[in-house]
Structure 1
Amino acid sequence: MKETGFLIDMDGVIYRGGELIPGAKDFIQKLLEEDYPFRFLTNNSQRNCRDVVAKLSRMGIGVQEKHIFTCAIATARYLAAQKPNGTAYVIGEGGLLTALHQNGYSIVDDAPDYVVIGEGRTIMLESVDKAINMVMNGAKLIATNLDAYCPSSNNSIRSGCGAFVSMIEMATGRKAFSAGKPNPVMMRIAKAELGTHSANTIMIGDTMETDILGGVQMGFKTVLTLTGSTKIEDLDAYAYSPDHIIGSIQELNDPMVLEQIVHGDLVLQ
């Protein structure tokens, strides 16, 4: 196995909505064939790993469940380390529920240790009100991520986990802890799965506030792709920079470009 490993964001890097970004399939196939360790790193807690694998398979990318690492998994492992065999009231979907169960947590409707918030398409205000009262009564507030919105189809957006969490924060005066990107909790656990050193870990993403910031904080090499939420003209607004900038993941299929990223310090634009 190679000493260099990759953490790869999905939406905006591998696909946009339901469309595969050109070159993504070939790049992942190259990683598999050349035995590079890698994980898809996503701040979406809705789907479990099997569902993500199935979605990628429909797009022509064949990977295993071990290649998927979600903020739900990071959150569940963090909580299991903090309070083994604890309890949680959950606002979220299957991916989050599965991760919590697999890490020894019970889902309850009364007096939980934690209130855990993830993405959801059918979140009801009654659930939010219940969560508010639980937090006021001592439950700790956890968010799988603090993304205010998520990309959707037809170039639209939908409210993200951070939007739901902010309602509870405002009502309770308590701030949520989030284990998702860019928190080093998620980045560190994912790196450990790769078995690589920080200097040999490459984070590929399209979002400065999560992918690139998380990589910078961990000392990873960072690659910003311009096929997602960040444009080249946006970079002046940030006090940190990616190590490399590429137009799309297609460029990484050029052996010279990949060699520069793995071993060199050249910023590609």
Structure 2
Amino acid sequence: MAQKGFLIDMDGVIYRGSEPIPGAVEFINSLREKGYPFLFLTNNSQRTPRDVSYKLRKLGFNVTDEDIFTCAMATARYLASRKEHGTAYVIGEGGLLTELHNVGYSIVDDHPDYVIIGEGRTIMLESVDKAINMIMNGSKLIATNLDPNCPVGNGKYRAGCGAFVAMLEFATGKQAFSVGKPSPVMMRMARKILQLSTDETIMIGDTMTTDILGAGSMGFTTVLTLSGVTKESDLDQFGYAPDFIIKSVKDLLDEELFSKVLYKQHEPILTVA
């Protein structure tokens, strides 16, 4: 029997704000007990894996630092594979800076190889102006992700990484390269961490334009949960579809449905004559 494993988004999938989604703790803990490998994927570059795993453990999840893969980690590893011991000017926070240091990058204020944009709650126009000039003088623009906004709880949002990237692209006429979901760079790295093949990988997410698009493009089995940002009525807006739609991960505690997801046993969404 082929091994199966899971890539799992977090906000809207296993928790909302500071509360776990009902059934999520039981589902994640059951994966651990049954021996199915899993990895949490997040487009939030602010926090380190240790910070994220600490939050999850406080919510009751049986996880470790090694169960977390952030877009900051993906970005740092990608850049290290392109240029060893490079330099970067960073608009972002501790999670991104830590990962760049981990791969041997130096953070500089003058003539960097890369200008890297991540999430930030205290982004200043002075930093943006410096980034614009660096990009105009040849530094390459890298985005940890292109999410236009980020939920902050209570139905409120703040500007996401993608909003600041769009401003820099417009100001410089240069296009950013993004490493986070739905980029195949992050998806492929995550699959390899779990040591799975394409047909052994299952993605559970709540966002069509990142989780489902990225995983579907890679050929992974895709499970959309309606416990987050996507509503079932939204699906008509997209030219692609998930393999499975569930109300929440609690549904996957049902052994029959879980087995169907494992082996991709479902009626085809589109039938071509």
Task: Identify whether the pair has TM-score above 0.5, normalized to the shorter chain.
Answer: yes
- Deviation at residue 104 of structure 1 after TM alignment: 1.1
Equivalent residues of 1:191, 1:201 under 8 A apart? yes
- Deviation at residue 268 of structure 1 after TM alignment: 11
CA offsets, 1:169-223, max 9 Å, x none? 1110001000000000000000000111111100000000000000111000000
Alignment of 1:165-176 (within 5 A): 165-176=165-176
Distance in 2, matches of 1:152 and 1:172, equals 30
Alignment of 1:1-269 (within 5 A): 3-266=3-266
Q: Secondary structure at the match of 1:240?
A: coil
Q: Secondary structure at the match of 2:35?
A: coil
Distance in 2, matches of 1:117 and 1:18, equals 26
Q: Secondary structure at the match of 2:223?
A: strand
CA offsets, 1:82-102, max 9 Å, x none? 111100000001110011111
Distance in 2, matches of 1:15 and 1:268, equals 30
Q: Secondary structure at the match of 2:154?
A: helix
Counterpart residue type for residue 105 of structure 2: Y
Query: TM-score, normalized by length of structure 2?
Result: 0.96
Distance in 1, matches of 2:123 and 2:130, equals 12
Equivalent residues of 1:207, 1:228 under 8 A apart? yes
Counterpart residue type for residue 147 of structure 2: D
- Deviation at residue 115 of structure 1 after TM alignment: 0.2
Counterpart residue type for residue 241 of structure 1: A
Residues 1:140 and 1:222: Cα distance change in structure 2 (over 3 Å): same
- Deviation at residue 266 of structure 1 after TM alignment: 1.4
Equivalent residues of 1:144, 1:161 under 8 A apart? yes
Distance in 1, matches of 2:31 and 2:21, equals 17
- Deviation at residue 153 of structure 1 after TM alignment: 1.1
- Deviation at residue 264 of structure 1 after TM alignment: 3.3
Query: TM-score, normalized by length of structure 1?
Result: 0.98
Distance in 2, matches of 1:130 and 1:66, equals 35
Distance in 2, matches of 1:19 and 1:46, equals 20
Q: Secondary structure at the match of 2:36?
A: coil
CA offsets, 1:61-87, max 9 Å, x none? 121111000000000000000111100
Equivalent residues of 2:2, 2:200 under 8 A apart? no
Residues 1:21 and 1:229: Cα distance change in structure 2 (over 3 Å): same
CA offsets, 1:8-34, max 9 Å, x none? 000010111111100110011011111
Q: Secondary structure at the match of 1:61?
A: coil
Distance in 1, matches of 2:251 and 2:267, equals 13
| Larger deviation, residues 150-159 vs 184-193 | 150-159
Structure 2 gaps of 5+ residues are none
Equivalent residues of 1:145, 1:180 under 8 A apart? yes
Counterpart residue type for residue 92 of structure 1: G
Q: Which aligned segments of 4 or more residues in structure 1 are displaced greater than 6 angstroms?
A: none
Residues 1:267 and 1:118: Cα distance change in structure 2 (over 3 Å): farther
> What do you get for the CA RMSD once the two structures are aligned?
1.4
- Figure out how many residues of one structure are paired with residues of the other and give that number: 269
Distance in 2, matches of 1:137 and 1:18, equals 43
Distance in 1, matches of 2:55 and 2:29, equals 16
